[in-house]
Amino acid sequence: MAFARVDEGDDLAFYAPPRLVTHIDAAATAALTACYARILPHDATVLDLMSSWVSHLPPDLPTRAVIGQGMNAEELAANPRLDRWFVQDLNRDPVLPLADASIDAGLCCVGVQYLRAPVAVFAQVRRVLRPGAPVIVSFSNRCFPTKAVAVWRQLDDAGHAALVRLYLERAGFAEVAAEVLADGRRGDPLIVVTGRA
């Protein structure tokens, strides 16, 4: 099965211990922050999906609000960029508790590999985004392998990019494109797939 995992145990239990570490190296982080600076509108309400204790947003980017969704309350509470946050297991319940067309930009950093119903989740992201708002999905080659879905584990970086493009297209996003931000020759690779609601 494409979305089977080695560890099918409870995800909230797996993520219960806080992990206050970064999952991409400094160069990849800088590349992602520069990407956000280029794409994200100013004074936006931003949804940081699958968030943690850091959001990689440019420090000088003015935002109206940053709303985080994640799996660990301690990590989310430690994130200084989040104005509000909620814990939700998207593999159990993909429905976001946010109003239609209420968000100006959506982010998903290094978490897409864990989604068991990615099209349903990204369809929810599209629902809550205002028309034309950007979504930015970033990923590297790092993961918790027992929690990554089977199809992800079987693909290389180019395959991951094609897969995430497919997720966004099937969720109804337009202008879907992939971009390599860091090629991995001197550290972590980092790819973003973007689209417009």
Residue 32 in any domain: the answer is: yes
The pLDDT, as a whole number, for residue 26 is: 83
Whichever domain contains 81, its CATH number is: 3.40.50.150
Query: Quick check: helix, strand or coil at residue 103?
Result: strand
H runs (alpha helix) in the chain: 11-14, 26-39, 73-77, 118-128, 150-153, 157-170
Question: Alpha-carbon distance 182 to 31, whole Å?
Answer: 7
The pLDDT, as a whole number, for residue 144 is: 62
Question: Alpha-carbon distance 75 to 51, whole Å?
Answer: 8
180 in Cβ contact with 188 (< 8 Å): no
Question: Alpha-carbon distance 137 to 158, whole Å?
Answer: 14
Give the number of other Cβ atoms within 10 Å of residue 63's Cβ: 19
Residue 2 in any domain: the answer is: no
pLDDT per residue rounded down to tens, the chain (197 residues)? 887 775 676 666 665 656 555 666 788 899 999 999 999 999 999 999 999 999 999 999 999 999 999 999 999 999 999 999 999 999 999 999 999 999 999 999 999 998 999 999 999 999 999 999 999 999 987 666 666 788 778 889 999 999 999 999 999 999 999 999 988 777 778 999 999 99
Residue 107 in any domain: the answer is: yes
Domain containing residue 145: 11-196
The pLDDT, as a whole number, for residue 80 is: 96
Residue 36 in any domain: the answer is: yes
Residue 99 in any domain: the answer is: yes
The pLDDT, as a whole number, for residue 28 is: 82
45 in Cβ contact with 64 (< 8 Å): yes
Structure tokens at 109: 């950093």
Amino acid identity of 120?
A
The pLDDT, as a whole number, for residue 61 is: 96
Residue 4 in any domain: the answer is: no
Residue 3 in any domain: the answer is: no
Is-above-0.85 flag for pTM?
A: yes
Residue 1 in any domain: the answer is: no
Structure tokens at 21: 């570490």
